Amino acid sequence: MHMQNEVKAKPVPSWLILLLAAACGLVAANLYYAQTVVGPISVTTGLSSAAAGLIVTLTQIGYVIGLLFIVPLSDIVENKRLVTFFLIILVVGLIAAAFSSHAVLFLTASLVIGISSVVAQILVPYATYLTSEEQRGRVVGNVMSGLLLGIMLARPVASFITSLLGWQAVFVFSAIIIVLLTLLLSRALPARQPQPAMKYGQLILSLGTLLKTFPLLRRRALYQASLFGAFSLFWTTVPLQLANEYGMSQQGIAWFALAGVGGAIAAPIAGRWADKGLTRILTGVAMIIAVASFGLAYLFQGHSTATLILLVIVAITLDMAVSGNLVLGQRIIYSLSEARGRVNGIFMSIFFVGGAIGSSLGSWSYAHGGWSLTTLIGLIMPLLALGYYLTEKKTAVVSTS
């Protein structure tokens, strides 16, 4: 592990953390650009409204494939080379999406974008190798806040660009940004050459062993899957509620989504507090905030200005709960094993499956029971996580926080 120790010996310059945070955000945003502009894309590519949901689903499926089969490679392949290679694949996917006039081509491009966007999840554990145990929470918090900002800004940015220049411009701009990012990262990142102790097949098989070996990994992944499920349910259905109940346009919905971005401030704060040993308490707080957010949305409904303001507050507090808890979880799981690429791949794929379940539950509940049923399901998801959290032994986090 010579190279790893060599890189770790020096303190991490703040510009490098900023670059990693920006890179994670710009890459992860590609998973979400299509979500708010599915309508215009369907018109151009000839997708039926029933099949339009496939755009989001295929991107998410691609991402989970990448998390399970590409992210683990960062434990055996030189990280900078791996990142550069998949960023080039991402550019190809984005260009194909931008110039697609046929449904099959666009859906294939969506799958490629999903798979290659896992570069963000190679960069997060990579950042932890550059830092000491004492600073890990802060560094992960800062990098994750960049990633979360990318996720949250993607929808409003796509809406604004589409309303001005058409949906193709979203993918063209992103392709240009990713090309510039690839050049920058290939120059700026320190090399990290892991010692390949196993072949690729063994590496993938070891995912099951890691999941079995670390109860805290299973626990933190399920916590985050519940919260992210509630988050995805909210952001899948709130645009429909804003349009139906408040008569909002695409731009109005984009401004609302922009307000929710304020919740990303919780990530670096949670990281710093986790470094002080407050992981366990903060986890409970995050879950209670998520439950309370949906509780308010369920209790206060209508189409007055007051309920709209309340909905903005709910968007911010829910985002705070989810982003804060994500950083707490990652700080713990990176302390469990040196195989951080694989550990991160397992954690993220479980929590992303939670998000996919939340999205589909949201679509179903809004169609069948409107906003009341949707917010009730949104309330139950973090409530289940809170119940599970109360079974956690107090000693479980001592060694990691």
* SS3 track for 94-152: HHHHHCCCCHHHHHHHHHHHHHHCCHHHHHHHHHHHCCCHHHHHHHHHHHHHHHHHHHH
- Report pLDDT digits (tens) over 222-246: 999 999 999 989 988 888 888 888 9
Q: What does the pLDDT read at residue 104?
A: 93
Q: What percentage of residues in the chain have a pLDDT greater than 70?
A: 95
Q: How far is CA 270 from the centre of its chain?
A: 16
Q: Specify the higher pLDDT residue, 152 or 380.
A: 380
Average pLDDT over residues 294-306: 92
At 77, the pLDDT band (50, 70, 90 cuts) reads very high
CATH 1.20.1250.20 domain position(s) in the chain: 1-197, 207-401
At 197, the pLDDT band (50, 70, 90 cuts) reads confident
Average pLDDT over residues 147-175: 91
How far is CA 204 from each of CA 198, 218, 230, 324, 348, rounded to the nearest angstrom? 10, 17, 29, 29, 15
* Mean pLDDT, the chain, whole residue set: 88
Q: Say which range, 269-273, 370-374, 379-383, has the weakest mean pLDDT.
A: 269-273
CATH class entry, domain 207-401: mainly alpha
At 296, the pLDDT band (50, 70, 90 cuts) reads very high
pLDDT above 90: residue 177 = yes
Assigned fold of 1-197: Growth Hormone; Chain: A; (1.20.1250)
- Report pLDDT digits (tens) over 201-217: 999 999 999 999 999 99
pLDDT above 70: residue 91 = yes
At 400, the pLDDT band (50, 70, 90 cuts) reads very low
What count of other Cβ atoms lies within 10 Å of the Cβ of residue 172?
17
Rg of the chain taking only CA atoms, in angstroms: 20
Q: What does the pLDDT read at residue 3?
A: 43
3-state helix, strand, coil in the chain (%, to 5): 85, 0, 15
At 398, the pLDDT band (50, 70, 90 cuts) reads very low
Average pLDDT over residues 342-354: 91
At 50, the pLDDT band (50, 70, 90 cuts) reads low
pLDDT above 80: residue 358 = yes
Q: What does the pLDDT read at residue 394?
A: 66
Q: Specify the higher pLDDT residue, 242 or 51.
A: 242
Q: CA angle 213-62-228, nearest 5°?
A: 60
Q: What's the predicted TM-score (pTM) here?
A: 0.83
